[in-house]
Amino acid sequence: MYLHGSSKINQNGHLEIGGVDTLELANKYGTPLYVYDVELIRNRARGFKSAFDKANVKAQVAYASKAFSSVAIIQVAHEEGLSLDVVSGGELYTALAAGFPASRIHFHGNNKSQEELRMALEHNIGCIVVDNFYEIELLNSICRELEAKAKILLRVTPGVEAHTHDYITTGQEDSKFGFDLHNGQVEKAIDQVLELNSFELLGFHCHIGSQIFETTGFVLAADKIFEKLKEWKSQFSFVPEVINLGGGFGIRYTEEDEPLEPHVYVEKIIETVKNKITDLNMNMPEIWIEPGRSLVGDAGTTLYTVGSQKEIPDIRKYLAIDGGMSDNIRPSLYQAKYEAALANKMNVKHENKVSIAGKCCESGDMLIWDVPLPEAQPGDLLAVFCTGAYGYSMSNNYNRIPRPAVVFVENGEAGLVIKRETLEDIVRLDLPYKSKVMNS
C-alpha cells in the first residue's frame, strides 16, 4: 500500500494524516470528507520554488487554483509565496476574498466575460492571459473605458500535445485555446496588441496538457516558441520579459504512474531556456509555470463510510459508499484510477478484490474497479487516496446530494476549511413557481 506525504498507519492500526487519526476526523466532521495534508502541499510548493531560486532564475510559480479553489488553500499558496492562476470570476473572487495579492494573480480563459475582465482590471491584477482576437477587442474597449492599461501574455498553441506518456506534434493544433503558432495568428495578435495603448505585452504563455511524466513536452514547446522569438525580435523589435510554460506536471495515482520530482521539471525547463537565449543572444526572461494537480493532488484523501454490498457470485463484489460521482467525477468522466484502503483496518491484509460503487443513480457511478481491501463491514471507513486535484473542484449536486466538507490537517491539528453542504443549502436557490408567477 502506497501512503503519500505524512500519511501513516498509527498505533491503533488506523490511517493517520498530518498527525491526525482519520477515524477521529470522520467522527467529528462526518463523511464523505476531503482531508488535505497541508505539509505535503507546502513541500511541493517549495520543491518548485527552490529549484528556480537555486538556479538564480527569476520566476513565478502560479498555483492553478482550478485544481482546488477555496479561501484556505489560497491562503496556503500565499504563505508559500506562490502566484495564482484563476480562470473565472468565481476563482478570482475567491482569491480576493482570501486576501491574495492581486499583483500575483494571472487570469486565464478562452471566453472571459466583460464583467470578469472589468473585475480583473478594477482590481489591477498582475496579468491577463489573452486567448483570442475577440478578447483583444473586448479588453481594449474596457481598458479605454476604465483608462486602464492591462499587463498581458498572449496564449499560444505551440502544436505540441501531451498524451501523458508521449507527445504528438501537429502542424496546426486542434484546440479551443490560444493563438496558433503556425498559421500567422500569433503574429497578427502581437501586431494588434503592440499597436494599442491599452496593453503592456509581457510575453507568451502555453500549456501542453495535464498529468505529464516527462520533460520532453516542455522542451518541445519551449523549442517551438523560441524558434519564433527570433523572428519576432526582428519583425516587431519585441523581446518578451516573461515565458509561461503552463502546468501539467504528473502525480502518482496508482502504481502505473511514475512522476518526476518538481525540481526535475524545473531544472530541465531552465536548461532549455538558457540554451535558447544563448543561441538567440537574448536576455533571460522570467519563467512562469502553473502547477495545479502536482501541488494538491496527492495531498487529498477522501474518507467515505461503507454501506451496502452486493455480491454476484463468480463475477464481482460491489461495495457502496456514501458518496460517488457527486464528490469525485473523475472516474466516470476520464476513467481515472485510484487506490484505496480501509482506514480503520490498515493492518489487516488488503487482499479481497471489490469494486467501489457510488450512491448516485447511474450505473457509471463507480469510483474504483477491483481494488484489494480487507473484508468490509457497513460502517468501515474507506480512504480513497490522491483525490486532492479536480475532486472537490469538480464536485456537484447530482441527485441533490450535498457536497462534502473539507478539512486541512497539519502537525497533529485539524481545521474545517469548507463546511459540509446541508439539505437547506440544496434548496437555497430554489423558488416556488406559483409565487413567482403571482409576484411578477
Q: Which residues are marked as active site?
A: 361
Q: Annotation-wise, does 334 bind a ligand?
A: yes
**Residue 210 interacts with ligand LYS (CB under 6 A)?**
yes
Q: Annotation-wise, does 290 bind a ligand?
A: yes
Compute the least distance from the CB of residue 210 to ligand LYS, in Å. Answer: 4
How far the first Cα of the chain sits from its last, in Å, is: 60
Strands (E), 251-295: 286-289
Compute the least distance from the CB of residue 244 to ligand PLP, in Å. Answer: 9
As beta bridge partners, residue 310 has 318
Q: Annotation-wise, does 155 bind a ligand?
A: no
Q: Annotation-wise, does 246 bind a ligand?
A: no
Residue 135 binding target from ligand PLP, ligand LYS, none, CB below 5 to 8 Å by type: none
**Residue 66 interacts with ligand LYS (CB under 6 A)?**
yes
CA distances from 135 to 105, 141, 169, 179 (A): 18, 10, 27, 11
Q: Annotation-wise, does 46 bind a ligand?
A: no
Q: How far apart are CA 320 and CA 355, in angstroms?
A: 8
Compute the least distance from the CB of residue 317 to ligand PLP, in Å. Answer: 34
- Under 8 Å CB-to-CB from 216, ≥6 apart: which residues? 167
**Residue 155 interacts with ligand LYS (CB under 6 A)?**
no
The answer to whether 407 and 32 are in contact (CB under 8 A) is no
Residue 330 binding target from ligand LYS, ligand PLP, none, CB below 5 to 8 Å by type: ligand LYS
CA distances from 292 to 85, 251, 318, 344, 360 (A): 9, 11, 32, 30, 28
Q: How far apart are CA 191 and CA 74, in angstroms?
A: 36
Q: Which is nearer to ligand LYS, 236 or 334 (CB)?
A: 334
**Residue 390 interacts with ligand LYS (CB under 6 A)?**
yes
Q: Which amino acid is at 42?
A: R
Q: Which is nearer to ligand LYS, 109 or 240 (CB)?
A: 109
- Interface residue list for ligand PLP (CB under 6 A): 64, 67, 85, 108, 207, 210, 246-249, 290-294, 389
Site residue total, ligand LYS (CB under 6 A):
5
Where helices occur in 55-204 by DSSP H, the ranges are 71-79, 89-97, 114-122, 133-146, 185-195
Q: How far apart are CA 196 and CA 71, in angstroms?
A: 36
**Residue 338 interacts with ligand LYS (CB under 6 A)?**
no
Which residue matches cell numbers 430554489?
Answer: 430
Q: Annotation-wise, does 253 bind a ligand?
A: no
Q: Which is nearer to ligand PLP, 108 or 276 (CB)?
A: 108
The answer to whether 323 and 358 are in contact (CB under 8 A) is yes
Q: Which is nearer to ligand LYS, 293 or 359 (CB)?
A: 293
Q: Which residues belong to the annotated binding site?
A: 248, 290-293, 330, 334, 362, 390
Which residues contact ligand LYS by CB under 6 A?
Answer: 66, 210, 330, 334, 390
Q: Which residues belong to the annotated binding site for substrate?
A: 293, 330, 334, 362, 390
